[in-house]
């Protein structure tokens, strides 16, 4: 009996921690200063949040079903593969569109070489392209 | 280590596919192992031409150690970034860093870029076409050289040993 109460506690703590981390990640995306800094929130804080929730889910269903549940590992795997790739692509897009970054940022987002930009500029209505 | 053959060009990928298949159907009955095995052999054969040549893992033990280290660092990264977000008084020093690469294979560079994005306060932003350097955006950096050295020592060196030596 005590064992189950203890386990319930662990699962609850994991769920709360997971929710908190996911929230902090989103908060970061909402209130950090520029595009590049905002990228950091969702790529990191959210991974741990989802991780905590998945571990909680594995524990809960593992105990109630009486056999180990491992599908959640797949979600983690896919998340770890896709999160960095999408972050990289977003950052790269930011560089291409020459998005502003906060003044105090040190170092320059080096000028992209011609072959990296590509021949055809992306139409951008705000800048007078049509 | 299993060596690649003509019908099994990427043993590790095949193994991964089999494991993913078994996890997806959540059963290890004979039929599913057989079906998964067939898929694991056929899919790499069909998609082989889209792939870059993948370097072989030279030291599997080290790869495992590397994975564990990255996992630990991901947790540390999460705590650090959460702290930075929650504490607006703390002054952030965002920086763009051009990181000179030692790795040469495109596959290992991809791994390194992914690792950098998942670990403390850094996002890889752009890879030069010539594959010589990686542009990194970091959230809070005191000393650029220290960060470069840390990445070199913690991630790039092991990756180089695992795949390229």
Each residue's pLDDT tens digit, A13-64: 999 999 988 888 888 788 777 777 777 777 776 778 888 888 888 888 888 8
For residue A41, what are the domain limits?
Answer: 2-127
Count the domains in chain A: 1
Output DSSP code: residue A106: B
Are the CB atoms for A42 and A100 separated by under 8 Å?
A: no
**Residue B159 is assigned to a structural domain of this protein:** yes
The reply to whether residue B128 touches residue A108, judged by beta carbons under 8 angstroms, is no
Which phi and psi (to 5°) does residue B18 adopt? -60, -45
List the single residue in A47, A84, A102 with the smallest CB-CB distance to B94.
A102
Question: What's the pLDDT score for residue B129?
Answer: 61
Q: Based on the domain organization, do B105 and B27 belong to the same domain?
A: no
Question: What's the pLDDT score for residue A15?
Answer: 92
Count the domains in chain B: 2
Mean pLDDT of chain B: 76
Q: Based on the domain organization, do B121 and B157 belong to the same domain?
A: yes
ipTM of the predicted structure? 0.72
Q: Based on the domain organization, do B69 and B132 belong to the same domain?
A: yes
List the single residue in B75, B113, B123 with the smallest CB-CB distance to A39.
B123
Angle at B96 between CA B52 and CA B71, to 5 degrees: 55
Residues from chain B contacting residue A81 (CB–CB below 8 Å)? 114
Let me know if A2 is exposed, middle or buried by CB neighbors in 10 A (0-12, 13-18, 19+).
exposed
Q: Which of residues 18-77 of A touch B (CB under 8 A)?
A: 21, 24-25, 27-28, 31-32, 34, 36-37, 39-41, 43-45, 47-48, 69-71, 73-74, 77
Q: Based on the domain organization, do B111 and B158 belong to the same domain?
A: yes
Residues from chain B contacting residue A77 (CB–CB below 8 Å)? 20
Which phi and psi (to 5°) does residue A122 adopt? -75, 130
Question: What's the pLDDT score for residue B3?
Answer: 60
Q: What is the mean pLDDT of residues A69-85?
A: 80
Tell me the C-alpha distance between A104 and B101, whole Å. 26
Does residue B124 register a pLDDT over 70? yes
Q: Based on the domain organization, do B33 and B65 belong to the same domain?
A: no
Is pTM beyond 0.90 here?
no
């Amino acid at each position: 009996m005590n064992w189950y109460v203890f386990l319930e506690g662990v699962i609850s703590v994991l769920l709360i921690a997971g929710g908190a981390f996911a929230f902090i990640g989103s908060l970061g995306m909402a209130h950090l200063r520029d595009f590049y800094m905002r990228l950091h929130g969702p790529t990191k804080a959210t991974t741990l949040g989802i991780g905590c929730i998945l571990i909680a889910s594995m524990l809960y269903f593992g105990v109630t079903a009486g056999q180990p549940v491992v599908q959640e590992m797949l979600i983690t795997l896919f998340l770890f593969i896709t999160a960095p790739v999408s972050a990289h692509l977003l950052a790269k897009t930011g560089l291409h569109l020459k998005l502003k970054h906060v003044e105090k940022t040190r170092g320059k987002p080096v000028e992209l070489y011609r072959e990296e930009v590509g021949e055809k500029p992306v139409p951008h209505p705000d800048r007078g392209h049509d | 280590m299993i060596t690649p053959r003509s019908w099994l060009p990427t043993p590790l990928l095949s193994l991964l596919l089999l494991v993913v298949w078994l996890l997806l159907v959540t059963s290890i009955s004979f039929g599913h192992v057989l079906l998964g095995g067939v898929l694991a052999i056929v899919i790499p054969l069909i998609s082989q031409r889209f792939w870059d040549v993948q370097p072989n893992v030279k030291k599997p033990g080290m790869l495992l150690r590397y994975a564990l280290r990255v996992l630990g660092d991901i947790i540390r990264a999460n705590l650090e970034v959460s702290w930075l977000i929650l504490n607006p008084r703390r002054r952030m020093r965002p920086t763009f860093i051009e990181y000179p690469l030692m790795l040469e294979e495109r596959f290992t560079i991809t791994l390194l870029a992914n690792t950098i994005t998942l670990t403390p306060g850094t996002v890889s932003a752009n890879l030069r076409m010539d594959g010589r350097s990686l542009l990194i955006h970091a959230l809070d950096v005191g000393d650029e050289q220290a960060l470069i050295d840390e990445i070199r020592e913690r991630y790039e060196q092991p990756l180089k040993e695992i795949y390229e030596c």
